[in-house]
Amino acid sequence: MSCRYDIVVYGATGFTGAYIVRALATSPLFKYILYGEAVVKAAVENGANHVDISGEPVFLERMVHKYSEAAKEKGVYILGACGFDSIPCDMGVEFLKRNFDGTLGCVETFARFNKGVAGYPVNTGTYDSMLLAIASLWDRGARQVHREITPNPMPQPKYGAPCRFPLTRQKLGAQNAWNVPFVGPDKSIVDRSQYYDFHVNNKRAVQIKTYMCRGSFIQTALSTLWLSIFAFFALFSPTRKFLKAHPECCSFGMFRRNGPSKQQIGEASFDYFFYGAGWARDETPDATRPTKTAVAVCHGPDPGYVGTAACITAAALTLLDDKDKLPKE
């Protein structure tokens, strides 16, 4: 018996309406840089849409570079980063842009992850993806791919998002915490969305800077120090192998092979704060510093499992139910 798959979801399982949504991976170790291309290639060749929860910018841009034309010919879509990385951020910026009473110039985002009393260890699949993503940053081919998929540079705004220290405390509305730059893929995803909006829809591109909220100063400083050391040793093959072999030890228990328990998942949640700055309707953008501000907040359940499952399911349903409303270019 044969079965036609209208959409391939890489990283989740489920049944959607009258369509079968096929899961090609049930393990948490979604190493898209290593294994993702085979799934994208098979989906495009067989006329199926592809949705995944990857958070690896190099993989995402390579898939756009290699398969976008073939996907257009087949009339299908390749949608990456449809989990917590990076739907809340991308949609939040778009929401602020559409509802800003004037011209939005820049947005600062602050992601806050809330643990319950039971704590929350992250699955080592995320740890492995971090290792691969950091190692791929030195790939010259990846930089060439980025230049080829974004060949036309956007004009630099005169007044962009403010420059902040790598470790700084912000007091912006309900968000009052120590913050560090968010090293996830959210900025690169939003930048590509703004690139499309500028060149295809003739709309002003919004500059974005992303941050992660932490707890006390000591906790923030220690986690920043760990990430810096981790990123440095992830660049070299021998030390990268050691890090990969001992994730729990090398992360001081922040990452564990079994991931969080059901109780820990149930107690966890996230908040995503968006602070936009721009100009009123009667003002000329860039003539002065931004004079108008707006704030949006996205609250959600556990981002790693519950939130991500909701995001990728919503993306799949959109492809199935509203495909005629999606852009063709």
Q: What is the pLDDT of residues 55-99, one digit of tens each?
A: 888 889 999 999 999 999 999 999 999 999 899 999 999 999 999
Q: Does residue 160 form part of some domain? A: yes
Q: What are the beta bridge partners of residue 296?
A: 274
Residues in contact with 8: Cβ distance below 8 Å, sequence separation at least 6, in sequence order: 22, 24, 39, 42, 43, 48, 49, 50, 51
- What domain count does the chain have? 1
CATH number (domain holding residue 272): 3.30.360
Distance CA 63, CA 307 (A): 25
Is 100 domain-assigned? yes
- Could you tell me if residue 116 is inside a domain? yes
| 54 part of a folded domain | no
Residue 102 domain-assigned (yes or no): yes
Q: Is residue 321 part of a domain?
A: no
In a domain, 285, yes or no: yes
- Contact status, residue 179 vs residue 209, Cβ threshold 8 Å: no
Angstrom CA distances, 203 to 101, 103, 143, 275, 288, stand at 15, 10, 26, 20, 20
Within-domain flag for 52: no
Q: List the domain range (segments joined by +) for residue 189.
A: 87-303
The predicted model scores a pTM of 0.87
pLDDT digits (tens, 9 = 90+) for 227-284: 899 999 998 989 999 999 999 999 999 999 889 999 999 999 999 999 999 999 999 9
